[in-house]
Structure 1
Amino acid sequence: MLRVFCLTLALHAVLGRNLVQVLQSSPSESTLVSLVQKAGLADALGQGTFTIFAPTNDAFAKLPADLLASLSTDVNALANVLKYHVVPASIQKKDASNEAQLDTLAGSKVRLNIYSHNHEVTVEGSRITHFDIAADNGYIHVIDTVMLPPEGSIVDIVAGAPELSVLLSNVKSANLVSALQGDGLTVFAPTNEAFARLGSSTLHSLSSNPQLLKEILEYHVVPHTEYSAGLYNREYLRTLDSRHDVIRIGATGSHIYANTATVTTADIAATNGVVHIIDHVLVPQRHHGSSIFGKK
């Protein structure tokens, strides 16, 4: 708490300066400042009106070392990532709304989410830890994770992951591609191994029953954006399937569960929501006693 207080105090102590000068006043933002200077963005951010979502040194330290090294040697790629943290407008906390999307200097949008139950506000899933740090030409909001521009829509994310090829095939078979192109979705994505755990008999039953396959796949989709920062223990999320069945979320320490499935990779940002990879296929409670999904 003391370090957080000192960060806030340091930033607020230099009102009357531009955004870059305010960032320079904080030791916890030294990595960001160094990279902004390396990318040749310091002068541009010192004039005009902007809002910067500013990752701390600790946020940059969480990046894979090879990615950070690559960005440090590729000025164009570095500039694109940094521009993704800059909105060409003055945005304060009071302006934020859930699922709002903001244009960035990188040309792509960032998504805001407001989770009232734990008072978290995120941008592309990154927690905003300090708001409304004022400069002469805009505002700074401090975030705990570096944001990387999404590599496409949810369907693109699934199509680009070899371990999700069975899911992609089933989504196509169930004619759900267009549904997954909607905005503001959360997909709990079972891996190929997760489908294999169902057993050949269950997989055959699903492939021969398109309506049931569609229902099971829709049960993996939540019609709003739920990053891990917004998930909490014993939360119930209603899904896209026609019965609006619920997924029960478990959260213990750093582990997140959807029903009995473990989230193995969380917070894969997409242009239209977020993907969490899971290790088991989710089945609505009402199907647990059926001959298809009964105990083997």
Structure 2
Amino acid sequence: MKKQTSFITLSLMLATPALAGGAGAPAARPAPAACMTIAQIVAKDPNFSTLATALEAAGLTNTLKSGSYTVFAPTNAAFAKLPSDTLAMALNDTDLLRSILLYHVVPGKVSAKQVMGMTSGMTAQGGSFLVTMNGGKVMIDNATVTKADMIACNGIVHVIDTVLMPAMDTSMEGAADTAEPVMAEPVMAEPVAAEPVMAEPVATAPASVDLMSIPATPMGMTGTMTTTTDTTTMTDTTVAAPEGDMAMGDMMTEGTTLYDMIVADERFSTLRDLISDAELTEVLMTTDYTVFAPTNEAFENVNAEQLALIASNPDVLKQVLLYHVVSGKLNNEDLSAATQLRSAEGESLNLSVDGTVQMVNTAMVDGPAIEASNGNIYAINELLLPPELVIPEMPADDAMEMTDATMADTTVATTDTTTATVSTTTTTEMAPAMTGNALVDALSQPQFSTLLSLVQKADLVGALTASDVTVFAPTNDAFAKVPAATLDALMASPDALKQVLLFHVVSGRVVDDGLKVSQLRSLEGSSIDLKMEGTTMMAGVLNGNDLMGGTYSTRIDAGNSVIYPIDSVLLPPTLK
């Protein structure tokens, strides 16, 4: 109705000539600003260049020029989190890529306010995503919405920090089913206020894509997403809610993070790759920091053998990179006034001014601060090495011959100063991969022998190694609790076995605050309920106030994936 009223008002304005200077001549009117389609927004924003390439490769660019859609758009930084082989595989498989991208698309216009009133939603790919709140932020599956309500002519764009992976595609085992889905009847949302919010009619998409409607089931959430008025012009900032609507704040307009800025600047491509290898991407997307960022040229000036030894050892690499990070958002004046700063690695950085050049240890700062939403970045011309750094001498090839006996258990402190998060789990650092995949190596531990044999029997090794995953891994003792008849039935039914195993797996690396949610979406499609009782963490299926599942306390890092050993086998609610 608001849109219709605005069009009527515009028509009346154009039909009524304005007189200038009393002479009767119509005054010149500025041409109305042309709105941009979703495809144009993606194409013109450099933060979406990877997404634009993927849409073009999947033949979906024209689809997003018409119709009426909502897109959860991953940034370049989000794509950079994916293993390079996974991204290459998707880009070389049109059907697979198309399926992944359509999992980010919802038919019709779904505003931030409507998203917050949902527990799940149906995508154009046919799968459903999970909507949860985590620390005042809205999560779509395991992705955080970092900016909401970018308005296009034909829909809405919400920016997310992680690529969403549908359950059917995580296996990477074949092309997606390209048969056109039957158009489902729209499922209307229950009212979130006295007056229900009605979804706009979905325009007909091009023949190549038949999109399904989105169910919007309110869950009574409270949050801080910002609503917008219904308009056909794009805005780069969140529009204030109209008078009388609930004030939702601006938590969803956090802007571009430190990691986003590093990814977007080609001078830091080497640093970007090392940050990903050291699993520090999330660190630079949350808390406020100042980063002294070595340029590509700075890395080229390091002895190649020495750099290879640093890069081959995750602990040493993390130590070196955190030596370049300082807590807080420091501007140029702050640097000029300081003589020493404490790095996130723990050792101090010496600051001085040489004429007009700011120095950090012996490195020169090149130019003013690069501002991000959660800190500042200063380009420097040298790689900084902590004074107490011990560079490993053993080449990576020799390290691969290490046995399971070299794995060490270390307890994570209650407060982790490098990530500013709280954890109560014990972390096991895995030795370098012995089979070529860290996750498979981790599951090769004796306590997981039953699980690994079942994963192999169900032909799910590819599903677990194609991208980063989180596995709630039943131990041998957990399988011993399962009645023999139940286990025999699973062994006799490949589909049921695969269903049960995938119910233990979540797309992406879920750690620390990521576990402080009520539900996670499994690759099987059902939700895993999470519950905390004192210091005991539980996962399973909630039945009233009782959670049917198991407990876990230990975290095993396996490359970019993570494993939580669990003392019970989880059975999905859909298992028949």
**TM-score class, shorter:** 0.5 to 0.7
Superposition deviation, residue 190 in structure 1: 2.7
Cα deviation digits, residues 89-130 of structure 1 (max 9, x gap): 111110024662222221222221123xx1121112111111
1:17 aligns with 2:298: no
Name the amino acid aligned to 1:25. Answer: K
Q: Secondary structure of 1:96's partner? A: helix
Hey, what's the Cα distance between the residues in 2 that align with 1:189 and 1:99? 26
Partner residue, 1:126 = 143
2:296 aligned with 1:279, yes or no? no
Q: Secondary structure at the match of 1:111?
A: strand
Deviation of 1:262 (Å): 1.2
Q: Partners of 2:122 and 2:82 in 1: how far apart?
A: 24
Does 2:162 match 1:145? yes
Which one has the largest radius of gyration? 2
- Offset of 1:64 from its aligned partner? 1.3
Are 1:190 and 1:279, in contact at CA under 8 Å, matched by a contact in 2? yes
CA distance in 1, matches of 2:516, 2:63: 40
- In structure 2, how many angstroms separate the alpha carbons of the residues matched to 1:208 and 1:149? 32
- Verify the 8 A CA contact 1:15 1:135 in the aligned structure 2: no
The answer for the alignment partner of 2:133 in structure 1 is 114
What is the CA-CA distance between 1:15 and the residue it aligns to? 7.5
Identity of aligned residues (%): 28
Greater RCO between the two (CA within 8 Å, min separation 6)? 1
**Are positions 1:195 and 2:479 aligned together?**
no
Aligned counterpart, 1:63: 82
Asked if residue 76 in structure 1 is aligned to residue 95 in structure 2, the reply is yes
Q: Retained in 2: the 8 A contact 1:238–1:244?
A: no
Distance 1:264 1:244, change over 3 A: farther
Distance 1:34 1:188 in 2: 31
Q: 1:261 aligns with which of 515, 531, 554?
A: 554
- Letter paired with 2:59: G
Residue of structure 2 aligned with 1:44, choices 63, 88, 113: 63
Q: Which amino acid aligns with 1:140?
A: V
In the TM superposition, 1:89-104 aligns within 5 A as 89-97=108-116, 100-104=119-123
Q: Structure 1 residues 130, 235: CA separation in 2 closer, same or farther (over 3 Å shift)?
A: farther
Counterpart of 1:5? Answer: none
Q: Report the counterpart of residue 54 of structure 2 in structure 1.
A: 35
- Corresponding residue number in structure 2 for 1:7: none
Letter in 1 for 2:113: K
Q: Flag the structure with higher helix content.
A: 1
Post-superposition CA distance 1:214-257 (Å, at most 9, x none): xxxxxxx9xxxxx655434996466658884799xxxxxxxxxx
Distance in 2 of aligned mates of 1:30 and 1:83: 17
3-state secondary structure, aligned to 1:48:
coil
Q: 2: CA distance between counterparts of 1:267 and 1:87?
A: 29
Task: Give the TM-score, by structure 1 length.
Answer: 0.56
Amino acid at match of 2:84: A
Aligned residues: 207
- Deviation digits for residues 187-213 of structure 1, max 9, x if unmatched? 97234xx336x8xxxx87x46899xxx
1:162-182 C-alpha deviation (Å, 9 max, x unpaired): x57846999xxxxxxxxxxxx
Separation (CA, whole Å) in 1 of partners of 2:119 and 2:102: 18
1:273 alignment partner in structure 2: none
Q: CA RMSD in A?
A: 4.4
SS in 1 for 2:50: helix
* Residues 1:103 and 1:266: Cα distance change in structure 2 (over 3 Å): farther
**1:266 deviation in Å?**
12
Alpha-carbon distance, 1:22 to partner: 1.1
Structure 2, unaligned runs of 5 or more: 1-32, 170-439, 455-469, 486-503, 505-509, 518-530, 569-576
**AA partner of residue 112 (structure 1):** V
Q: Distance in 1 between matches of 2:57 and 2:552?
A: 46
Contact 2:552–2:566 under 8 Å retained in 1 = no
Name 1:271's counterpart in structure 2: none
Displacement, 1:86? 0.5
- Corresponding residue number in structure 2 for 1:11: none
Question: What secondary structure is seen at the aligned counterpart in 1 of 2:62?
Answer: helix
How much has 1:84 moved relative to structure 2?
A: 1.0
Question: In terms of mean alpha carbon deviation, does 96-105 or 45-54 score higher?
Answer: 96-105
Distance 2:53 2:40 in 1: 12
Q: TM-score, normalised by structure 2?
A: 0.30
Change (3 A) 1:113 1:124: same
Aligned-residue offset at 1:279:
2.8
Please list every run of at least 4 consecutive aligned residues from structure 1 whose deviation after the TM superposition is greater than 6 angstroms: 167-170, 207-210, 265-268
Query: Is the 1:98–1:114 Cα contact (8 Å) retained in structure 2?
Result: no
